[in-house]
């Protein structure tokens, strides 16, 4: 993510084919994700709601030398009831 909250690049894992953010997409990030894993709302990352079986989690890492922040999105299977 660039300093203006636009996506610089996105790499996806083969397990998350439905989770992809196009280059240049401006994200509605209210606050930066911490370095540790936290639950994350889908509408922050995806402008159009997506159907997914995953609970979205995120963490981030500040890359000061590039004036960018690296976000890592991953999913957990929802707990069955």
Q: How far apart are CA 74 and CA 59, in angstroms?
A: 9
With CA atoms as reference, report the closest residue to 26 among 49, 45, 41.
45
- B/e letters for 8-44, b = 16+ CB within 10 Å, e = fewer, are eeeeeeeeeeebebeeeeebebeeebeeeeeebeeeb
Length of the chain: 81
The two structure tokens encoding residue 4: 């203006």
pLDDT tens, position by position, 27-76: 877 666 555 566 777 777 776 777 777 788 888 888 888 888 888 888 77
Q: Which residues are bridge partners to 72 per DSSP?
A: 59
pTM of the model: 0.67
């Amino acid at each position: 993510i660039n300093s203006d909250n636009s996506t610089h690049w996105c790499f996806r894992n083969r397990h998350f084919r439905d989770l992809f953010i196009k280059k240049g997409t401006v994200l509605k990030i209210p606050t930066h994700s911490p370095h540790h894993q936290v639950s994350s709302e889908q509408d922050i990352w995806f402008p159009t709601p997506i159907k997914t079986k995953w609970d979205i989690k995120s963490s981030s890492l500040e890359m000061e030398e590039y004036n960018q922040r690296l976000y890592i999105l991953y999913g957990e299977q929802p707990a069955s009831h």
